[in-house]
Amino acid sequence: MKTIYLFICIVVLLMSSCATSKKSVRKGEANVRYELLDARTFKITKFARDKTYGYTEDNPIKVGGGMEGPLNEQRFLNALAGPNGEKVSYKRQGSCCPFKTPNAVFGDSGMLDMYEISIEGMSQKIILYLNMYDSETLQVPVGFTLRK
């Protein structure tokens, strides 16, 4: 009897832990190939018009890459400059916001990474959300320019 009770408890626990993850973040394109300026910087040619791009968990920047995902996040952030060309620095704040993705390294779920962006000469910090599992054509978020 104890074994059956324990089994039921484990099944209920596992089912409830999966129920909290989101169904999906907006789907990205399949395997977008990115051009590099150098080994640590993406070449980005488009500018976002959507003010939520990168600023919300519902519209993250999809850099893709699977096992190269963390490097792709850095390549993206290294391409950015402040609104007037100021130097940008960044610090990873952690992961958040579980979502379903067919591109997960393990299983079918991923987490977004949150980066705190500092722009030289500005005291206000900006949080950008990046998705290292799915890819799409990269864009410069509103309020940023490209590094020269």
Beta-bridged to residue 45, according to DSSP, are: none
Q: Which residue has the tokens 């952030």?
A: 77
Is this model's pTM higher than 0.85 or not?
no
Q: Considering the domain boundaries, does residue 48 fall inside one?
A: yes
Q: Measured between alpha carbons, how far is 100 from 77 in angstroms, rounded to an integer? A: 24
Contact between 77 and 54 (Cβ < 8 Å): no
Could you read off the pLDDT tens digit of each residue along the chain, which spans 148 residues? Answer: 555 544 454 544 444 444 333 444 455 555 788 999 999 999 999 999 999 999 999 999 999 998 899 999 999 999 999 999 999 999 999 999 999 999 998 899 999 999 999 999 999 999 999 999 999 999 999 999 999 8
Q: Considering the domain boundaries, does residue 134 fall inside one?
A: yes
Q: Considering the domain boundaries, does residue 4 fall inside one?
A: no
Query: What is the extent of the structural domain holding 44?
Result: 25-146
Q: Considering the domain boundaries, does residue 51 fall inside one?
A: yes
Tokens of 3: 């074994």
Report strand pairing: 80-81 vs 126-131: unpaired
Run of H or E including 14: helix 2-19
